[in-house]
Amino acid sequence: MQTSVETLESLKQKATLWLRQGISPRRLALTLALGFGLGCIPVVGIPTALCAMVALAFRLNQPAIQAANYAAMPFQLALIVPFVRLGAWLVPSVAHSSINLAAVMHAPLSTVTHAPVQVVAQLEVLAGQALLGWLLVAIPVVLLLTATLTVLLRRIPALAAVEAAD
């Protein structure tokens, strides 16, 4: 069984290998920023597959984008309600009063069994509002993260050597 020191050394070696795969700091920064931005999508279960598709489509580093995606998971969960509120502020919904969300929280099973169509319709509205809020925030965050990470990653000697070779 590996000790924590051996595990840490193993992770360092893997990170060094990823950094030496010929990825420029700018491309790695974009990969990490996209992974983090997509990882914050307020619909649970979507980010991993979406990150994989984006990485394949744009030939980005798959392990790096998935690592950033998983690093964003706590933020994804914490930002669901703020994104719903932002989306609701941007696009108020008349269907919002169709179901009492407090009742769903206190007695979810009885609410779902008595009014499943209304629950699904309400969740669709909330998910749409959350996605709108996320989209409004995600684009500037990804751009800012890409610029910031590019500057930081250029300070890593292994990556600076890759960029100089380009």
Q: How do residues 119-166 score in pLDDT, each as one tens digit?
A: 777 778 888 889 999 999 999 999 999 999 999 988 887 666 666 555
Alpha helices in 20-93 (DSSP H): 25-39, 47-58, 62-71, 73-90
Q: Cα angle at 120 between 115 and 121, to 5 degrees?
A: 100
* Residue 74 within a domain: yes
Q: What are the distances in angstroms from CA 95 to CA 51, 71, 91, 133, 148?
A: 32, 34, 12, 18, 41
* Residue 68 within a domain: yes
* Residue 5 within a domain: no
Quick one: CA dihedral 72, 78, 81, 82, positive or negative? negative
* Residue 91 within a domain: yes
Q: Which two tokens stand for residue 149?
A: 């990470």
- Answering whether pTM is above 0.85, one says no
| Per-residue pLDDT at 101 | 58
* Residue 53 within a domain: yes
Average pLDDT over residues 102-129: 73
* Residue 11 within a domain: no
* Residue 125 within a domain: yes
| Per-residue pLDDT at 151 | 93
- What are the tens digits of pLDDT across the range 73-92? 999 999 999 998 898 898 88
Domain encompassing residue 58: 24-165
Give the count of domains, the chain.
1
| Per-residue pLDDT at 38 | 96
* Residue 8 within a domain: no
